Amino acid sequence: MTDKTRPVLLTGASGNLGRALAPALASAGYRLRLTDIAPFPDAVPDGSAFTKADLNDGPTILRLAEGCQAILHFGGISTEHPFEVVLGPNIRGLYHVYEAARREKARVLFASSNHAIGFHERPSGNAERLDADCAFRPDSFYGLSKAYGELMGRMYWDKHGVENLNVRIGSSFPEPVDARMLSTWLSYADLARMMEKFLEAPRIGHAVVWGASNNPATYWGKDHRDRIGWEPQDTAEEFRDKVGGKLSGDPVTERYQGGGYTAMDYTRGTPSPKDAFSLD
């Protein structure tokens, strides 16, 4: 698909992941339109432009997307907050992104999250790893907004043919900081390589990829990474001696894939069943 004469819109450009992606994609020759509600704290890469904007502002998002070949949507609330805080940028803002993509015939990469499936229990072996077609089990209002975002992508593909890749990001940091991240870590370099593969892929449809590096301890199994030809090159195992003993000590946090998000405001007396519709 790549046409480097057509720009790429990157929302959430001032966040940690946006700041890592902007120079990487610019150095690969992409013309970037960067946007965020917060100022861009770094030097804007050559060939790129930054516009301060709110995702709630539909006309501005439409204008920023004009002529774009793709939208890399990393904008919105990126951690757990009360529902009313999440609602605007993560639900209404996503609608504005997809409407812009529909109008411009652009594809969308949606930065989803493992928190869309966070109440699945951690696997005890390879056979229990989750595949990408697993049921949503969000662990927070933030995770719920990510599940909604993936469903919006499915609707826009079914109804309008808007191609979209939903990346269920695990934990994308410079390096893992605790034992859980030995399973969920995604390096910045692997993330940047994924963005390039997404932009280059000839055909995507509606797809889901687990956003994690090549971690032997991963919770996750099959996905659609073959659609873009992406294979992660980094691994969290390099950090096992450093962080392997760093556990939370909280039984809820350690039981579920979503980690600490599952324990926030948790009021159940006993764990929820593995089967979401069980009465046990």
Q: Which residues are catalytic?
A: 142
Query: What is the 8-class DSSP label of residue 90?
Result: I
Query: What is the 8-class DSSP label of residue 89?
Result: I
Is residue 218 a contact partner of residue 210, using CB atoms and an 8 Å limit?
yes
- What ranges in the chain are assigned the alpha helix state H? 16-27, 58-65, 83-87, 93-104, 141-160, 181-184, 188-200, 240-243, 251-255, 260-263
Plot region of 120 (φ>0 → left; ψ -120 to 50 → alpha; else → beta): beta
Is residue 47 a contact partner of residue 8, using CB atoms and an 8 Å limit?
no
Nearest-angstrom CA–CA distance, 79 and 77: 6
- Nearest residue to 88 via CA among 58, 115, 59, 67: 58
102, 105, 111, 116: CA torsion to nearest 10: 50
